[in-house]
Amino acid sequence: MPNQVGIDVGGTYTDAVFIQNGKIQNTAKVPTRAENLVETLLDAFDALKITNVPSINNVTVSTTLVTNAILQDRISPVSLLLFSGNGMSIDALPWPLSYLELSGEIDFRGREIEPPDLREWEKLQTSDFSENLVHVAIVGKFSHRNCLHEEQLAAYLRNLYPSIHVALGHEWGQANFFRRSMTTYLNLGVSDMYTNFSEQLQTALSARKIHAPVSILKADGGTLPLAKIRPIDSIYSGPAASVLAGLAQSDPKDSSIIIDIGGTTTDLGLVLSGNPLLSTKGAQIGPFSTLVRSLSVRSIPVGGDSVIRATDQGFFLESYRLGPAYCLGGNVPTPTDAMRYLGLIDYGNERLAEEGLASILPTERRTPKYLRELATAIIDRVVDRIADAVDSLKHEWEEEPAYKVWEVLHPHETKAFYTVVSGGGARGLITALGKRLNNPVQLGLFSEVSNALGAAMARPTFDCTLHLDTYMKYYRVAETGEQGKWTGSLRPHREVENFINTLAQKQAKQYEVAIYDLEKEPFDFFPIVQDYRTVGQIVRGAVHLRPGVIGRVHV
């Protein structure tokens, strides 16, 4: 295994880890400077004190840059133009942004039903809207089946405004007009900022003589080269990294629940027989529903620093943080104080922990007996919240829709789950968690830098999903939006396998991904019958390189 550096830029701290042949050599933690991510990354890198920089084979970064920009509404203005066609009236959906509807319609097979209205396009140039026309996202309903209208309008606008940035929806090749529109919009909105970040980072790394390839971690737990990634794909890489860290420490065939307990939030993920669970719908970020492939992860607002508030019935576990735990100099009692009082952790001032907890109790009950009871109850409450979220994640997995008889007859078997816990709050909760979840709980290695560890161990993901309509004589690739002519037979059999392999090779080359262990999804063949005669087929199939890690780590 090569020499890997993983860096995770978190909200408060940025973690880094250097791994040599599967052994963790060095870890580091530096404060995150939100206004200067490039400097932060370099700080973290420097803190690793790597003596032989040229020996580094790879640097993987998980960054909150895009996530924060979207959540803090700091994205460039984008005009969204939609060919919304007939069907459901699109304002039935909860759009968090404004759009302009244009006429022109394509159907589910990719046939043009109604051409665009050029008079509408002419009005675009005269309206105020065109004055500051810089970023334009154009998305058509069923454009993933035929991008004709999108490309026509793009060509038209580029001709009028040569400097304009246009993004087209079909490049996100999957069904769901609503999510495709938002994904196209967001990706375009963050692209300038991302390009800027990427360029600065390249410059800074060169200055440090780091010539190893730099990859960015994606929401689906995979990596792609800094220059090849679509910026929006980098959202939620933090929770994905913690799942990968858990994966890197467990048996390759195990099913595990990965829990990362931070100060304010706890992230959860599921690994099923060595494969992290992917969410079937795309990622949701703020008010935006996207097509971004992401791991099925949960974040709940519970952590070691969650505020404990006294109530008439006892106490309430709040979902926010007000600074550090009482035993660490804070002003309010927290689960960390309960852990400290019970001796489950060894940091923090014991007397302060007691004082903090006592403030919850009525004066007459401030005795060791009641304090112990209270501390235990607090820990149970935290563990309950986490366990509920685990159950709901498992439930969601069991409730995945099935569209084939085979899938219903082979349901997700109840698996034996191991639990890997990491994060600042982990140590004091493992016993209670193990009891509540009723399965073995293991404390993760280097749990304070587990996200950096996950980033370092991540490998690329790769998907190539083919939709082929031999009657219409076209094919589409869902991941890249590539559309092309099909010249093969009407009822292909073996030749589609070669075809998808060729497409995958080409796509992998373009993304600079080395593909191996490709997992093949069986092809579906749908006969297209007219007048009781088969006139063609719709063929669907895919190859995947699932999210995973390059190996296992040990101390």
Partner 1 sequence: MRHTGILFFPAFDWSLGESHPEREERLLYTQEQLFEEGILDLPRIKQFSPRIASIHEGLRAQALFPTPQFHLEALDAHLIAAGSAILLGEARVRGDIANGFVLARPPGHHSGATVWGNRGFCTLNNEAILVNHLRAHFGIKKIAIVDTDVHHGDGTQDIFYHDPNVLFISLHQDGRTLYPGSGFVNEKGGPNAWGQTLNIPLPPGTGDEGYHYVLENWVLPRLQVFAPDLIINSAGQDNHFTDPLASMNLTAGGYGRITELLQPDLAVLEGGYSIEGALPYVNLAILLALAGEDYYHVREPQKLDRSVLTLSSIKPYIEGLKNQHQTINPHWTIQNKYFFPKGDWIYIPHSVYYDTEGFQEIRHDYIRQCSYCGGTVYIESSRSSFPGKSILVRIPFMACSECEQAGYELWDHLQHQREDADYGLLQNQLHDKQDLWQRKEGLR
Which residues would be at the binding site for partner 1 (CB under 8 A)? 86-89, 92-94, 105, 107-109, 113, 141-142, 144-145, 175-179, 281, 289, 399-406, 408-409, 524, 526-529, 532-534, 538
Element (H, E) at 174: none
CB closer to partner 1, 365 vs 404? 404
- The residue among 393, 395, 443 whose CA lies nearest residue 418 is 443
CB closer to partner 1, 252 vs 522? 522
CB closer to partner 1, 13 vs 185? 185
Q: What is the 3-state secondary structure (H, E, C) of 450-488?
A: HHHHHHHHECECEEEEEEEECCCCEEEECCCCCEEECCC
Task: State in angstroms the smallest separation of the CB of 538 from partner 1.
Answer: 7
Task: State in angstroms the smallest separation of the CB of 173 from partner 1.
Answer: 12
CB closer to partner 1, 400 vs 495? 400
Task: State in angstroms the smallest separation of the CB of 148 from partner 1.
Answer: 16
CB closer to partner 1, 322 vs 529? 529
Task: State in angstroms the smallest separation of the CB of 289 from partner 1.
Answer: 6
CB closer to partner 1, 288 vs 341? 288
Task: State in angstroms the smallest separation of the CB of 527 from partner 1.
Answer: 5
113 HSE (CA, 13 A, CB side): 18
Q: Which pair of tokens denotes residue 67?
A: 């996530």
Q: Which spans in 65-176 are helix H?
A: 65-71, 118-126, 148-160
Give, in order, the Cα–Cα distances in Å from 326 to each of 135, 316, 375, 383: 49, 16, 13, 20
Task: State in angstroms the smallest separation of the CB of 302 from partner 1.
Answer: 26
Task: State in angstroms the smallest separation of the CB of 142 from partner 1.
Answer: 6
CB 59 within 8 A of CB 212: yes
Q: What is the DSSP letter of 388?
A: H
Q: Which pair of tokens denotes residue 52?
A: 């032989």
CB 262 within 8 A of CB 423: yes
Element (H, E) at 407: helix 405-409
CB closer to partner 1, 88 vs 100? 88
Using CA atoms, how far apart are residues 467 and 480, in angstroms rounded to an integer?
12
Task: State in angstroms the smallest separation of the CB of 83 from partner 1.
Answer: 12
Give, in order, the Cα–Cα distances in Å from 307 to each of 322, 337, 428, 432: 7, 10, 17, 19
CB closer to partner 1, 403 vs 516? 403
